[in-house]
Amino acid sequence: MSATTPRVGVITFPGSLDDRDALRAVETMGGAGIPLWHADADLHEVDAVVLPGGFSYGDYLRCGAIARFARVMDEVRGFAARGGPVLGICNGFQILCESGLLPGALIRNASLRFVCRPVHLRVERSDSAVTRDLVAGEVLEIPVKHGEGQFVARPDELALLEDEGLVVFRYASQGGEVDAAHNPNGAVAGIAGVCNRAGNVVGLMPHPEHAVDPDVGPVGGQPLFSSLLAAAMARV
């Protein structure tokens, strides 16, 4: 591994499930995947952090409610404040919202059922940590799998979020149309992913780590990881 391979840390919380998958995706896309442990007070000098999918603490009480108090989250907060790229996937997104690092919250799907299927996402901005290799308006195919992925925000918060352009991805048709028929969970305004004001912290419900290997699914996650690696590279 060359000295310039970006190091991407993937945090394992008790109940994380897609942590190995995220590490594999990082490696597939040319990065060095570094396992991080929830109880550690150390990010091991990584250049980017991924909070993976799963059911941390069983999703008991609320998704992400308990994991946000993990010791490692103090480090993640500091890393994010210094501009470090942070990606939260599914449960990782929920943890970032619970931590206040991202706006909004995620509640039960409108159907009240878990849903696992490929969806299409429209890229809304090309300057976040995971979309710098993309252009706004592009459509990616990536699977979702969640029971509590309905993005919600108070009306005032939602208006602010839209005004500031913090929406990174929306559920859409293959042609890029955002409508109820292509929204798997009832998310307000079709919101699938958001970022913070600086654009370095991004969360999304779909699973890009399950969309890099063409043998087992679509490949819409590849540009997200290549963008994340580029953002990490900028810090090497």
Partner 1 sequence: MVAIEEPLHRQLGLHDDELEQIRGTLGREPNRAELAMYAAMWSEHCSYKSSKVHLRTLPTEGPSVLVGPGQDAGAVDVGDGLAVVFKMESHSHPSAIEPYQGAATGVGGIVRDIISMGARPVALLDPLRFGPLTEARNRYLLAGVVAGIGGYGNCIGVPTVGGEISFAAPHSANPAVNVMCVGIAPADRLVTAESLTVHEGSLMVLYGAPTGRDGIGGVSVLASATLEEGSGAARPSVQIGDPFAGKLLIEASLEMVERGLLEGLQDLGGAGLSCAVSESAARAGMGAALQLDHVPLREAGMEPFEILTSESQERMLAIVSPERLGEVQEVCERWGLVSTVIATLEPGRTLRVEMGAEIVAEIPAPSLVDEAPEYERPMTPIEAAANDDPTFVPYHGDLRDAFVAVLGSPNVASKRWVFEQYDSIVQGQTVESAGGDAAIVRIPGTLKAMALSTDGKGRFGHLDPYLGAAHAVAEAARNVAVTGGTPLAITNCMNFGNPERPEVMWQFAESIRGMCDACLAFETPVTGGNVSFYNESGDSAIWPTPIIGMLGLLQDHRLRVRAGFPTPGLRIYLLGETLPELGGSEFAEVLLGSIAGRPPALDLDRERELHEMLQAAAHDDLLASAHDCGDGGLAVALAESAIAGAQGFAVTVPGDLPSHVALFSESASRAVVSVVPERAGELEELAARHEIPCTPIGETGGPRAVLDGLFETTVDELRDVYEGAIPRLLGEAP
Partner 2 sequence: MTAYSFEVLVSLKPGLSDPQGRAVEGSLPALGWTNVADVRVGTHIRFTVDAADEPAARAQVAQMAERLLSNPVIEDYRIIGEPSL
Site membership for partner 1, residue 117 (CB under 8 A)? yes
**Among the listed residues 25, 87, 90, 105, the single contact to partner 2 using CB under 8 A:** 105
Residue 176 · residue 137 · CB < 8 Å: yes
The residue written with tokens 């997200």 in the block is 224
Using alpha carbons only, how large is the chain's radius of gyration in Å? Answer: 16
Report the residue number, 64 or 208, with the smaller CB distance to partner 2.
64
Site membership for partner 2, residue 110 (CB under 8 A)? yes
Give the one entry of partner 1, partner 2, none that residue 217 binds, where binding means its C-beta sits below a cut-off of 5 to 8 angstroms depending on kind.
partner 1
Task: Specify whether 207 is catalytic.
Answer: yes
**Among the listed residues 75, 98, 124, 209, the single contact to partner 2 using CB under 8 A:** 98
Give the one entry of partner 2, partner 1, none that residue 113 binds, where binding means its C-beta sits below a cut-off of 5 to 8 angstroms depending on kind.
partner 1
The residue written with tokens 């540009």 in the block is 223
Alpha helix stretches (DSSP H) within 29-146: 71-81, 91-98
**Among the listed residues 97, 119, 121, 134, the single contact to partner 2 using CB under 8 A:** 97
* Closest distance to partner 1 from the beta carbon of 67 (Å): 12
Distant-in-sequence, close-in-space partners of 187: CB < 8 Å, separation ≥ 6? 149, 150, 151, 152, 171, 205
Report the residue number, 29 or 153, with the smaller CB distance to partner 1.
29
Distant-in-sequence, close-in-space partners of 165: CB < 8 Å, separation ≥ 6? 124, 125
Task: Specify whether 138 is catalytic.
Answer: no
Residue 210 · residue 53 · CB < 8 Å: no
Write out the catalytic residue numbers. 90, 207, 209
